[in-house]
Structure 1
Amino acid sequence: MVPLLVVAVFLLQGALFQPPQAAAFKIFTSDGSLTHHQITEAAFLRKMAEVCRNVAIARGKDFTLPINNKLTPTAVQRACSNSYSTLLQLATFNLAVLQTSLSNAAVDKKVSSTAHHFDNEDFKNGRDLITLGVAAVKVSIKKGNYLSARISLGAVCHTLQDFYSHSNWVELGSTAPFSTLIKPERPLENLASPSTKTCKSCVGDNCTDNILTEVLQQKLLTSGYFKFILPIKPAGKCSHGGTFDGSSYKEPTGGINKDDISSNHGFLHLRAAEMAINATMELLEDIQLAIGDQAFLKLMGLSQTSVLVFVLDTTSTLSYYIAEAKKVFLSIIDSRRGTSEEPSEYILVPFSDQDFGPLIRTGDADKFKEQINSLSTSDSSNPGLCLSGLLLTLTRAPPSSDIFVFTDSSAKDIELKIAVVAMMQITQSKVSFLLSNSISTRSQQNVSLSRSLSQSDIQFYRDLAHVSGGQTIEVTNSTLSQATTVITDVITTDLVTVLQVERISSKAENFSFVLDPTLSNVTVYITGDSPVFNLYSPTGVSQSGSVADGPLGSIQTIGNLKRVKLNSDNQTGEWKISIDTTSSYSLKVIGQSSVDVLFYFVEIVEGGHGDSWGQSFTRPFIGRNATFYVSVTGRDSVTVTDVLLVEASGSGAVNGTIKSVGATDFLVNIDRIPDWAFVVQLKGLLNDSSLVSQFQRQSPVQHKGSRITVTAQSQNITQPGVPMSVNFTVATNTTDGNYTIRARTDQGFSMSFPSSLTLGPGGSAQGSVTLTAPSDTESGTDVTLTIEAEAPGSTDLNYITLRFTVSTANTIFSGCYLLSMCLSFVCFFICHFVCLGLVFVAKL
């Protein structure tokens, strides 16, 4: 019988509506166990070191870095930089690993899926998940959709790695990965039949020899069965094991999982983890051979320089402005050619009042210049499809891109604002707007045309820029060329944000920021109407904002922006700046550094075999606790002293509780999400030999909570011409009434969904979005779906964003698998009633 205490503990965890599954390698370790993130990172590092070693040998260069289990991102980056004769960006590599790892971890949220975890001897469907996922990775890469490729890759890696934790492959004495899992042409052989007995009961807590001798001798492949709470499994079969695996209480008792050192077969955990690392490397090699070294480097995030991205309004009122913009574009391209700062890619998205796109993307500077010169204008004085063009750019440009939008008009498609904000936060891309003042001209039909930006229009663009950590610069034809300086600043490699604040009030205020020894080319931006400011160095030297060239730096005025370029001497330490202005303003401090910080909100799902987690693609709930993941790049170890949520437009702050999950990785718990917009700020110590220095970094992207939750689960892949349904739930603890529902994809696919859902006080409601990719959709097409829920009276809003890939591969799930899924859900709901009954009996 299942102990009543087990049921009570599960209910106390508040997990009644989230059935746990057989999770694999843990995310929290204190005993030397390896996590999914560590396994994935180790495989990435070893594979990247191998690629860079081969490149070095081919170029006649030395590569002395030993390829072993002691590799660090910093060491691999330095060795690869020597191979490529240029500084490869460490931050982008860490971002690639983190995005893959977050997608990897999110697989543990797949409820009752035996295939995703190789439970219940579900080898065929598990292998099909892997091979279909690998195909999706390859087609996404060939289309340049590297973020989607990493998301698919992370999911594949999780299932592949779980095989070595949940099956008896290691117990069979295997010394190499099971390559058949990534080679669909090979047959799955020597599988234990459904009637074959595979285990005997453990002797107490000792499960070292619970797999039957004949299974080991015949090299039969099996895996543990898992059933939440209920003691159900086929006769004689092995169990996964663990407190919440009800099947492990039925003969034969115990389990065979190797999730961590304390598991039933934890004595084999390190061997299973090493096998999982080797299997992940084998998978990466398969992808590398299919796509080539250069594309593989981009998948790994090791692009050599930045990406130059422009979104340009092409209406005729901007004809003079466009001509000047073309000169700016060409000047920037030519100034970077042949240097270490030459962009690895160029992207251009035009838009007008009638259309937007296509997205023009190339790595050839000359072809890009031809595209710019061939841009034509359209006659119109209407608002343009600015957000449509920007959304297309955000979904196609690489993550962490710097995007520049040129326009002189309000946005015609403001309903896309939430979708744009969501993609800014997901991709961590910064968007800057260059706005021209009112221009009048005449069309080809000799009709007078004019467009103008109102203060509300300008504020709309400012709000978007502030959310992403970008700038809003108001220019004229004569001052546009000066904006080249700002564009050049922000497309510099290894750029980090030290401080960024926004103020909507006009009171005088003082700010401080810390510059560490790794920073160079530090620039301070102050955007506003005639701000008065004074800058103070750590040594007490000051400079007024009215002094163009002073002891601390040079000051340049570009429209409504003041650019302060600090002198290179005596930068380290705490700086101060006082600002006094009669209008709203923003302050930003950036510089180049090898030390940067990545921030992602994550969802922690408490399950029966440990916690699982994944990236959150929705706003956190106001007033409740939340967790985010912090990764510091550029050092093999750091000391983090403070992580805070800082009010974006004020002085409020909420402290976080820091838990280390690696030498440079941390999970930060926030007791309550504030009701104001915020940024994440990190402070800590850098240890360089005998020198210890303070450092400070900040997330450029703003976040805001909500009192609405929107949850949904979707498959990562859909087929052209086949309808796909995405079920979602909207819940709140505040306002009842009719909630407006909106859904859209960046591809414009046809879809149906309810226009509203009715929620009672503190209640929830469910809906479904059904969408269909056209039958002629190219395989590998990346699709972003955003589902929004808005409270009555537009008092609150939240969203969830899902990404999936269109693939022409055959459906992977067999009828038997779908039936087993359905039975799992039936059993799950039966468990609810059993649990509630047991608790009721306990109360009696």
Structure 2
Amino acid sequence: MWLSRAHLLLLSLLLCMTAVHCFIPLVGFSLNPTDDDGDDNWSHGAITRRAVLDAAADFLRDLPDCDLGSLATVRPSEIFQEISMIFMSCFGRVVSAARFYQAAIQIEIANGGVDLSDVTGHLPSAHFDAEKFVDANARLLDLRTGVLTAIEEGEYEAARELTGQLFHTLQDFYSHSNWVEMGNTGPNLNLAVPGADIGPVADPQTQTCVDCSKSLLWYQCEDNIIDSVNSQGLLTSGYYGGQTDMDGNDVPKPEDVKCSHGGRLDGTQDTSPKGGINKDSEWSILSPHSRYHYRAAQLAVQASRNFLNMIRQAKGDAQFANFLNLNTGSTLCFVIDTTGSMADDIAASKQRAYEIIDSRVGSPTEPSNYVLVPFNDPEFGPALSTNQADMFKQEIDQLRAVGGGDNPEFSLSAIRLALVESLPASTIFVFTDAPAKDAELRDTVVSLANQKNIKITFLISGTITRRRRSVPRSKREVGNRDTYIYIAQATGGQVLEIAKDEVFQTTRLVDLVVTSAEVNLLTTQSVQSSVRAHTIPVDSTMSDLVVQVTAVGATLEVFNPAGDQLEIGPDGPVTVEIQLNKVLVVRIRDVMAGEWRISVTSSVAYDLRVSAQSTVDFVYSFVKKVTDTDHFGVKEIEGRPVAGEEATIRVNLIGSDPTQVSDVTALSLVALDGRVLQTLPLQENEPLTEYFATSSSLPTVPFRCRLEGKDSGSSTFQRLITSVVETSTSRLQGSVDPVISRLLPGGTVDVPFTLSNSGQQGAFTIVATDDKGFVRRVTPSSVTLAQDATTTVTVRLRAPSDVAFGTTTTVTLTAQTSSGRSYNFLVFRVTVSPPDQDNVPPTCEVRALYGNCKDTDRSSCSGRTFSVTTAYRDEGYGLQSIDPRTFATNYTWTVEQFAPGLSDTTIIANYTATCCSPKVEFAVSDRVGNYEICTVDLTPPQGLSGGAIAGIVIGVILAVLIIVFIIVYCCCIRRRQKDDQTDSQVTKRSDKTDKGKKKTEVAVRDGDQQGRRFWYRFARKQEVTTSGGGNVVMKKTETHETRVEIHKTVVSETRQVEQKVKVKGNKK
């Protein structure tokens, strides 16, 4: 028998794995290859991607000019290609899908992490195993509360991680339970719904399965679930070997009673009842109920999509777009020093922000969110994060330069706040003229920035010298210019040292890089002046090129692929955007595909950066293949990769539809000066979407990752991620489960991690910092580790008693040797949860409605208004928010005596608007995310105008006339054809009539040259048959309705052989 690639891969995996259960964890290392025979296996990753794709498409379809068509035929391996094509369809080539892509990947990784975590991998309630339906649904409800409250607090990254964890458990319900075998064709709509009953569960003593028969390698399980279990609608699920509950107690399978999870890798499959019921894959060796895999996967997709749509309904379109990064722009982020010497910088940043906002408002390139963080001495923050451009304008307008001077300030503390609030792949601009007072946060800032792929650029308008304050070094470290240079270089940003009168012109750089589709082609530092020529591959997906040279007095020349030098000037193809003493920036418009050349002339070493506009980009992560635990897949490496070990890099291409990209060829590891250190071939996992590269040992010097390939026109494309990668000889590992490690208001939680050392013996200092100040201590704070030694590190957090549910703190845990040679980090989030579940939603009631919108249209609607009085109440933790959702731009909304947390009190609100927006929804939510919506719709009936009615009448008349003409014409043609028929002769065979049977026989014989005619006029029941001799036999029930004309002779039931009756104008 021939073995496909899928079968060979499956067998190889079976040799190296010990156990697996649940849908395959991630698409990144799924069992299915890219060819057709494996594309029907739906992993957790594929299910999640498909659900996110569908929910995003539902959202985008509501945008004008965004016709997406049907997505029903999209296969698992094509999902991310489809995402790119959706964005292209809706926004054209000015908007990249990168941020939405990263949001989807974040959800997917959190989903797979449930299997790969030491905390939840063996927990039955995390997988709907062992009939733990009540516990599993309680887990879903806890996670649902976390998602909704985190979104309410603007903690979108935490919400995505919680959503991924919820998805895993929700999707496993359909693969691990008997829901599909019961015959259900839709998802269980009561899962993760407060107060709902998910259905009856089989009693612990009720037998649910019988033995399966076994083939050579696996069990054949056709009908091993007992019929009465399914017919009574009793839920059951399989037991899996080695599972433990939340208290660490074993959960054994009841022998001779309950089903197994099953599959080659389940230790209980040979315990009676033998076999299993899981539907995780299409391979019977892993999934005894593999024939139900596709149905289970599609129900899991639908249930996941329903949950996302619930988020949209509960939180509204604006917050839903933030949650999935569906806003098209990037972050406009300013971190501004507000000391007395910064008046010019504040004025310049304010003016530039106004220009950017006013020129882009309402366009796809409008920033998605705005972040402003001021800092002074000794204060920093608070961080403003908003989607409202007017609010950002208002806040930046209120900044004043007061006190301080150019003494060291808490600039890095402010940057850390900005990193938490900014979208991935954004740029943070820091305006200051003073060194950092909190330089000990340098590595924390770099770690957090690299985790989100955020660049940090410093605009330093003054000379920074090293100053020390009275704070002891053990508590506070003062940085210098090198601190900022290190941060900028490590994150892909830059340090621009400028004069005060150059600040505004330099901020032009903000306008150039805060775009929706910026890609990086080249970044090099400290290039020797003797190196002049640089080749830039330009592909067909690019538009403008931006070239920046940083050096005193540097100049450049630009040559197109034909070798022609282009003129630089206001009227030429190359325009100067910034020209200062140390900075030169030019823009090249309408570039053609091919190799461009940049020639730099400088008397000193210089930095060179080249970027472009394109929707084709990539993201990458360091991962490890997990094959030695109870689950398999790929798991992202937290922090830096470990030196001296084989490294696997997962590459995901963005904007990868075949109309733009034809091939992806290699991943290069590039030194900071531009030298290529390693070129790694790529192994395709999903065509034009996902690839893997492997390095036997990563470079020991810092490097960047660069992707190379071919566009659809065979031109070379090249993309660079500017953040810097460094290896480490230590590693921090661990995970936080929000259900097990719950942080309550006023409560404390200890989160354990492991620190391992693969290098020489060293003394490590361990530090944990967070943006909300929840961290209380790290134990131990220092430790000496021998080579290959490991220790446990515990981080204790405490939340204030008055903190809001959903508040999330982002913790950065670092470990560094005293020599500084080994450094690593880990970033995790902890979200505050309510002490108990509140399953009762708030109430929303329309108390009164004044006015109506009858007989109004677009020309008269503004002259008529309506008013609505609504009432709201909550009996649990209290109300959180009350908001009208309307397309109206001018309305009045008043709420009486409302404050978040108000309980057992009725709140009255009044809404007034014009009839131009006659529909409004009133959404109310409580503090744990439960919600209710009441709707008022005064849209007038869509009547027809007089002209439309007249047009319809005329159209109907014309249609009737045409139909009549066709009928008359067809009748004439048919009659003419009958008159012309002369090829047969009809004679009367007998006029005998049996009055009992009411039958008249007529014989038919060919060869009559005189012509004949049949005229049947049957208005009642009749039967016409042909006898063996070719005779026509007619049976009639009412003779006065039946007549046959045979050569002008009418045969009727009265036996009058010749009846003088005029028939249709014939002669008598």
| TM-score, reference length from structure 1 | 0.86
**1:707 maps to 2:729:** yes
For each residue in 1:772-803, what CA deviation from the matched residue of structure 2 results, as whole angstroms up to 9, or x when unmatched? 11111111112111111112322211111111
1:384 maps to a residue whose letter is: E
Of residues 98, 104, 107, the one that matches 1:97 is 104
Partner of 1:222: 236
User: How many percent of aligned residue pairs carry the same amino acid?
Assistant: 32
CA–CA distance in structure 1, aligned partners of residues 82 and 123 of structure 2: 38
CA 1:799/1:304 → structure 2, altered by over 3 Å: closer, same or farther?
Answer: closer
CA 1:784/1:538 → structure 2, altered by over 3 Å: closer, same or farther?
Answer: same
For each residue in 1:445-504, what CA deviation from the matched residue of structure 2 results, as whole angstroms up to 9, or x when unmatched? xxxxxxxxxx98333222212222223212222111111321100112211112222337
For each residue in 1:152-172, what CA deviation from the matched residue of structure 2 results, as whole angstroms up to 9, or x when unmatched? 111111111122122221122
Partner of 1:724: 749
Q: Does the aligned pair in 1 maintain the 2:555–2:584 contact within 8 Å?
A: no
Q: Which has the higher helix share?
A: 1
| Superposed displacement of residue 509, structure 1 | 6.3
Instruction: Write the mapping of 1:2-401 to structure 2, written as runs, cut at 5 A.
Output: 22-26=21-25, 27=27, 28=30, 29-30=32-33, 31-32=38-39, 33-53=41-61, 55=62, 63=67, 65-70=69-74, 89-111=96-118, 112-204=122-214, 205=218, 206-228=220-242, 232-235=252-255, 236-262=257-283, 263-337=287-361, 339-381=363-405, 382-401=407-426
* Secondary structure, aligned partner of 1:661: strand
Q: Does the aligned pair in 2 maintain the 1:133–1:156 contact within 8 Å?
A: yes
Q: Does the aligned pair in 2 maintain the 1:72–1:636 contact within 8 Å?
A: no
1:207 maps to a residue whose letter is: C
**1:437 maps to 2:441:** no
* Secondary structure, aligned partner of 1:793: coil
CA–CA distance in structure 2, aligned partners of residues 806 and 618 of structure 1: 24
CA–CA distance in structure 1, aligned partners of residues 761 and 548 of structure 2: 44
* Secondary structure, aligned partner of 2:381: coil
CA–CA distance in structure 1, aligned partners of residues 637 and 835 of structure 2: 28
CA 1:239/1:617 → structure 2, altered by over 3 Å: closer, same or farther?
Answer: same
Partner of 1:780: 806
- Listed as ranges, the gaps of 5+ residues in structure 2 are 1-11, 244-249, 466-477, 839-1068
CA–CA distance in structure 2, aligned partners of residues 504 and 574 of structure 1: 21
CA 1:616/1:530 → structure 2, altered by over 3 Å: closer, same or farther?
Answer: farther
Structure with larger RCO (C-alpha < 8 A, sep 6+): 1
**1:517 maps to 2:540:** yes
CA–CA distance in structure 2, aligned partners of residues 558 and 321 of structure 1: 16
1:416 maps to a residue whose letter is: L
For each residue in 1:391-442, what CA deviation from the matched residue of structure 2 results, as whole angstroms up to 9, or x when unmatched? 00111222222211101111111111121112111212222111112499xx
**1:756 maps to 2:782:** yes
Q: Does the aligned pair in 2 maintain the 1:228–1:245 contact within 8 Å?
A: no
| Superposed displacement of residue 359, structure 1 | 1.0
- Listed as ranges, the gaps of 5+ residues in structure 1 are 1-8, 441-454, 813-844
| Superposed displacement of residue 290, structure 1 | 0.3
CA 1:439/1:106 → structure 2, altered by over 3 Å: closer, same or farther?
Answer: closer
| Superposed displacement of residue 602, structure 1 | 3.0
| TM-score, reference length from structure 2 | 0.68
1:711 maps to a residue whose letter is: Q
CA 1:211/1:101 → structure 2, altered by over 3 Å: closer, same or farther?
Answer: same
| Superposed displacement of residue 181, structure 1 | 1.5
Query: Which stretch of structure 1 is more off in the superposition, 230-239 or 490-499?
Result: 230-239
Query: Which stretch of structure 1 is more off in the superposition, 650-659 or 67-76?
Result: 67-76
Of residues 667, 681, 697, the one that matches 2:719 is 697
CA–CA distance in structure 1, aligned partners of residues 155 and 538 of structure 2: 36
Compare CA radii of gyration and give the structure with the larger one.
2
CA 1:653/1:438 → structure 2, altered by over 3 Å: closer, same or farther?
Answer: closer
Q: Does the aligned pair in 2 maintain the 1:594–1:634 contact within 8 Å?
A: yes
| Superposed displacement of residue 72, structure 1 | 5.0
Of residues 622, 626, 648, the one that matches 2:647 is 626
**1:653 maps to 2:677:** yes
**1:804 maps to 2:830:** yes
2:227 maps to a residue whose letter is: T
CA–CA distance in structure 1, aligned partners of residues 265 and 717 of structure 2: 44
CA–CA distance in structure 1, aligned partners of residues 528 and 172 of structure 2: 54
CA 1:650/1:568 → structure 2, altered by over 3 Å: closer, same or farther?
Answer: closer
* Secondary structure, aligned partner of 1:383: coil
CA–CA distance in structure 1, aligned partners of residues 628 and 278 of structure 2: 15
* Secondary structure, aligned partner of 1:794: coil
Q: Does the aligned pair in 2 maintain the 1:118–1:126 contact within 8 Å?
A: yes
Partner of 1:816: none
CA 1:396/1:275 → structure 2, altered by over 3 Å: closer, same or farther?
Answer: same
CA 1:794/1:583 → structure 2, altered by over 3 Å: closer, same or farther?
Answer: farther
For each residue in 1:121-167, what CA deviation from the matched residue of structure 2 results, as whole angstroms up to 9, or x when unmatched? 22222212222112211122222222221111111111111221222
CA 1:250/1:804 → structure 2, altered by over 3 Å: closer, same or farther?
Answer: same
* Secondary structure, aligned partner of 2:678: strand
CA–CA distance in structure 2, aligned partners of residues 260 and 564 of structure 1: 54
Q: Does the aligned pair in 2 maintain the 1:757–1:766 contact within 8 Å?
A: no
For each residue in 1:2-41, what CA deviation from the matched residue of structure 2 results, as whole angstroms up to 9, or x when unmatched? xxxxxxx99996x9xxx96634224311312112222112
| Superposed displacement of residue 321, structure 1 | 3.1
Partner of 2:972: none
2:542 maps to a residue whose letter is: L
Partner of 1:470: 493
2:804 maps to a residue whose letter is: E
**1:636 maps to 2:654:** no
CA 1:340/1:183 → structure 2, altered by over 3 Å: closer, same or farther?
Answer: closer
1:100 maps to a residue whose letter is: I
Partner of 1:825: none
Partner of 2:763: 738
**1:790 maps to 2:811:** no
Query: Which stretch of structure 1 is more off in the superposition, 738-747 or 630-639?
Result: 630-639
CA–CA distance in structure 1, aligned partners of residues 528 and 520 of structure 2: 23
CA 1:670/1:108 → structure 2, altered by over 3 Å: closer, same or farther?
Answer: farther
Q: Does the aligned pair in 1 maintain the 2:704–2:721 contact within 8 Å?
A: yes
1:321 maps to a residue whose letter is: D
CA–CA distance in structure 2, aligned partners of residues 469 and 214 of structure 1: 64
2:264 maps to a residue whose letter is: T
For each residue in 1:653-694, what CA deviation from the matched residue of structure 2 results, as whole angstroms up to 9, or x when unmatched? 22334233323122333322221212111111233xxx3332
* Secondary structure, aligned partner of 2:541: coil
Partner of 2:517: 494
CA 1:796/1:65 → structure 2, altered by over 3 Å: closer, same or farther?
Answer: same
Q: Does the aligned pair in 2 maintain the 1:232–1:246 contact within 8 Å?
A: no
| Superposed displacement of residue 601, structure 1 | 2.6
CA–CA distance in structure 2, aligned partners of residues 800 and 309 of structure 1: 24
Q: Does the aligned pair in 1 maintain the 2:116–2:631 contact within 8 Å?
A: no
Q: Does the aligned pair in 1 maintain the 2:95–2:364 contact within 8 Å?
A: no
Report how many residues are paired. Answer: 776
CA–CA distance in structure 1, aligned partners of residues 814 and 224 of structure 2: 51
CA 1:509/1:652 → structure 2, altered by over 3 Å: closer, same or farther?
Answer: farther
2:745 maps to a residue whose letter is: P
CA 1:679/1:108 → structure 2, altered by over 3 Å: closer, same or farther?
Answer: same
CA–CA distance in structure 1, aligned partners of residues 544 and 783 of structure 2: 52
1:528 maps to a residue whose letter is: A
CA 1:271/1:659 → structure 2, altered by over 3 Å: closer, same or farther?
Answer: farther
2:436 maps to a residue whose letter is: A
